[in-house]
Amino acid sequence: MKPLKTKVSITLDSTVIEIIKDLAEKDDRSFSQYVNLILKEYLQKNNILID
């Protein structure tokens, strides 16, 4: 079963948004999917999240 997801609202710099949108499109993912991926990778890299 997939983990539950929760909607959040955050404010980001417009340049950050544009870069993430471009990267997400190149990876054939939605903006939200890509942000989630980036955050998970950061947490795993820093031994905060163990999947």
pLDDT tens-digit profile of 9-49? 999 999 999 999 999 999 999 999 999 999 999 999 999 97
* pLDDT surpasses 70 at 51: no
* pLDDT surpasses 90 at 2: no
End-to-end CA distance of the chain: 15
Residue 28 domain-assigned? Answer: yes
What is the longest distance spanned by two Cα atoms in the chain?
35
Categorize the per-residue pLDDT at 3 as very low, low, confident or very high, splitting at 50, 70 and 90: confident
Residue 33 domain-assigned? Answer: yes
Residue 5 domain-assigned? Answer: no
Residue 1 domain-assigned? Answer: no
Residue 6 domain-assigned? Answer: no
Residue 50 domain-assigned? Answer: no
What is the model's pTM?
A: 0.83
Domain of 29 in residue numbering reads as 14-45
Contact 20, 38 (CB under 8 A): yes
Domains: count for the chain: 1
Q: What are the two backbone dihedrals, phi and then psi, of residue 48, each rounded to the nearest 5 degrees?
A: -100, -35
Q: Which residue has the higher pLDDT, 20 or 5?
A: 20
Report the alpha-carbon distance of residue 51 to residue 42 in Å, rounded: 12
